[in-house]
Structure formats: structure tokens, C-alpha cells
Amino acid sequence: MTVRYGTVQSLFQMGVLGGAVEIGGGPVVGVLGEDPSEAPARSLVGVPAQAPAAFGTSVSGTSVSGACGCGLGQRGKSRRLRLSEEFWGLSWEHELPAPAADGIHVECASLETTMQFIAAHYADLFEAEGESPFLAEEMTKAKGRYYELAADLFAFREGDQLVGVIVANPTDWNSYYVRSGAILRSHRSRGIVKHFFELLFDRLGRHGVARLETETSPSNLMVVRMLNSLQFNMTGTSLSERWGAMTRFTRFLNPEAEDVFLDQFCTGPRYQKQLRGQSTSGQQPHPGDKFCRAHSR
């Protein structure tokens, strides 16, 4: 009996999805698979599974140089496609720069720029007094490679001033995760992150992505309120040695998926269904409309 890593075709033959190995030298006679509902998603390039980091959490690490976080290669070198472009044909390089608020624009960021901002501002922005009770992780080679291969890095600027960053990445074939982000205190009242989420709804919806997810501390009421105003559903709680207790929020871009969630897990009024056909600003359709059009072509 031999054991070897399984192919996608063999997994579908066995009716099993997830990481798996084949047992047997010829026809597939068994599969040792992971339950996709319990195992984190793995990228097609062997990148470690996404960890439950969050929008509104700190990220430790040192300054690291690298290619642009939206897929731009270093000058003179071929460009490596990131997962967003590999999965959905979504090239942030072509979508950005774009307005993020009055006088603010969002653009692709380099790993070096992102880490410099994190090192300079995160401790203050997240009010981390003294030593954190959680496990601090340094920037390892594996972590740097993860960001280079899987993450989309966004920078927010007012003129030449860098006022914030956001890190996001696909977690599977139809889910996008906003991992971490922060805006300078002087610019928090400008609605930068809210405008950026609305940009994500539009771009992801047009490319057939089913859901946008993020996490924040239950005590971060400013972010919780913003996510509620953007029609995110509270979909879970996680506990980790790295960030403590986090509340997960999901913005369904596929209305059918949201209906299943609401009908199976929620009681009371279904405000989400009533708000379809409206945007948070009252000017554009619900992103689920774009998802439906993307899948009806």
C-alpha cells in the first residue's frame, strides 16, 4: 500500500473536498480528508492556512521589502499573480488607485510600506499599553512569503501622506477576508474604511465572490457599529493565543447564501432582506445584485 498526495480529480471522484492523500497504488481506494468546515483553507501554492487575524488587531513584525501587495512585480522582473487574480481574475493593479473618501485615495501598497506603517503606528492606534498578554510573532520567512503570495496590501494616502493600511486575502474560492487594518487617529472621522468596504462590495461582487469577512474585538464598538451600518452579519466568535476574543462578521454578496444563513440561524426581523436593492448610502444597488448578474452571464 502506498500513500501519496491526492489530486483534485481524485478528491471529486471520492466525493471529498479538502486536503487529502490517496491510499493505494492504482484506483483510489480511500481518502484521508479534512472537513472543510473545520480545516482552514489552503492556497493552491502551498501557503500556510490563513490565521484568524482581524481588522482591528495588531500585527507584529519588522520591516520587510517585497513586491507590491496587489500583484506588481519588482521593476524589471516578471509579475507574480496573487490569489485574487488567480482565483477571480481580480487585478487590484488595474482597479486602483481609486477614491476612498473626500481627498483620500487607496492604492496598492508594498510589503515594506505596510510593515513600516504597522511598526510605527499600530501600538498607539490599538492602545496597547505595556506588554501584550497575547503571543507576539516576529516576521519569519514563511510569514513574509505568505504576504507576498496571498495577501492584497492597500495603502490610503492624502496627497503624499500615508494615513492608513489594510491587509486582505482570499480564504477560499469564493470568500475574501479583511485581515488587519488601521487609520491614523487624525483621519478616522473621514469614513475611509467604510468607503473602502463599499469599493470591495462592488469589485468583489462583479467578480462573483460570495462573501466578505472580517473580525474585530467585541469591545471595538466603533468598528462594530460601522460593520452593522454596512449590513454585515455577526457569524461567529473565535479565541486565540494571538489576538484573544474576536467576533467574526460576514457581508454576504450572494443573497441566496445570506438567505440560508438567516433562515437557519436567526430569529426575528430579517432587515437584510428588506434592504436588498439599496446600498448603505442609498445610491447604488445591493452588491448581491452584482453577484447575481456575474453568475447569470
Q: Where are the domains of the chain?
A: 3-33, 83-296
Specify the pLDDT at position 78: 59
* Class at the top of the CATH hierarchy for domain 83-296: alpha beta
In this structure, the number of other CB atoms found within 10 A of the CB of residue 35 comes to 9
- Cell 481524485, located at residue: 10
In the chain, % helix, strand, coil (3-state, to 5) comes to 35, 25, 45
Specify the pLDDT at position 28: 45
DSSP string, 13-53: HHT--SSEEEESSSS---EEE--TTTSPP--TT-PPPPP--
In this structure, the number of other CB atoms found within 10 A of the CB of residue 126 comes to 16
The grid coordinates of residue 168 equal 486582505
The grid coordinates of residue 24 equal 493505494
Specify the pLDDT at position 57: 44
Specify the pLDDT at position 20: 45
pLDDT along the chain (297 residues), means of 10: 57 48 46 43 31 41 48 55 95 97 96 92 72 77 91 97 97 96 94 97 97 96 95 95 94 95 88 72 48 46
**This model's pTM is above 0.85:** no
Cα–Cα distance, 19 to 7 (Å, whole number): 9
Q: Say which amino acid occupies 246.
A: M
Specify the pLDDT at position 243: 84
Pseudo-torsion of CA 162, 166, 167, 170, nearest 10°? -140
Cα–Cα distance, 138 to 119 (Å, whole number): 12
DSSP string, 59-91: --------SBTTSPPPTTSPPPPPHHHHHH---
